[in-house]
Chain A
Amino acid sequence: QKEVEQDPGPLSVPEGAIVSLNCTYSNSAFQYFMWYRQYSRKGPELLMYTYSSGNKEDGRFTAQVDKSSKYISLFIRDSQPSDSATYLCALIQGAQKLVFGQGTRLTINP
């Protein structure tokens, strides 16, 4: 079993829709939770970073962490074609190395 499970998609939605991306994890020792966005032929770009259960909002993006269920989510409101990318969840435990999900490929259709 993988430490972090993420549906690879692909996920295709119309412009303006609310997008929900999710990851589950098995190790309760994970302390920090991140979402990265990766465009084709580019490196992962940090979107959201949180360490506690609850919601964190940044513009059109909301990260949600539920440590009791070992479940993290990223919501994108008013999705735009420029949001089309692969979204990666990444978790850290004390060792500081990131453990990634497989990434979900998202396409926003105009």
Chain B
Amino acid sequence: EAGVTQFPSHSVIEKGQTVTLRCDPISGHDNLYWYRRVMGKEIKFLLHFVKESKQDESGMPNNRFLAERTGGTYSTLKVQPAELEDSGVYFCASSQVGDQPQHFGDGTRLSIL
């Protein structure tokens, strides 16, 4: 069984540009989560999808971040325009049902110059 896949593994962009991160969850997992770790801090929750619906987006930092999950399969997280403080590692996780353990991808390392 394939695990959670994230693309790209690393992205370097300039401040003001747009970046889109992609996450492919484990097949059959309805729950998809985005998390972020900025340098020196703990991993923090961004948002949670159940199928294609946003269940909880309380962790999204501001309206420069837009997450979508059209069709309830893969998800994208767009940052537009990127700011320096957006640098960090963005993780995606999925679970079959909400109270089951979440399985993580290897993350996208985002560097804003």
Contacts and interface: CB of A to CB of B under 8 A. Distances in A.
Interface of B: 4, 31, 33, 35, 41-45, 48, 55-56, 58-59, 91, 93, 98-99, 101-107
A88 B48 contact: no
B99 A96 contact: yes
Interface string A16-34: 0000000000000000101
Contacts of B91: 43-44
A45 B104 contact: yes
12 contacts: A42-B107, A43-B4, A43-B91, A43-B105, A92-B99, A96-B48, A96-B56, A96-B99, A97-B45, A98-B33, A98-B35, A98-B43
A102 to B, nearest CB: 5
A67 B42 CA distance: 22
Interface string A77-108: 00000000000100010011111111100000
Considering the complex of A and B, which 7 residue pairs feature the smallest CB-CB distances, nearest first? A43-B104, A97-B45, A100-B43, A43-B106, A102-B42, A96-B98, A100-B42
A88 B99 contact: no
A41 B33 contact: no
A33 to B, nearest CB: 11
Contact of A95 (B56, B93, B102): B56
A62 B103 CA distance: 20
Given A43-B91, A43-B106, A46-B103, A88 B43 contact: yes
Given A96-B56, A97-B33, A46 B107 contact: no
Nearest to A5: B42
B1 to A, nearest CB: 14
Contacts of B107: 42-43
Contacts of A42: 106-107
Contact of B45 (A4, A99, A102): A99
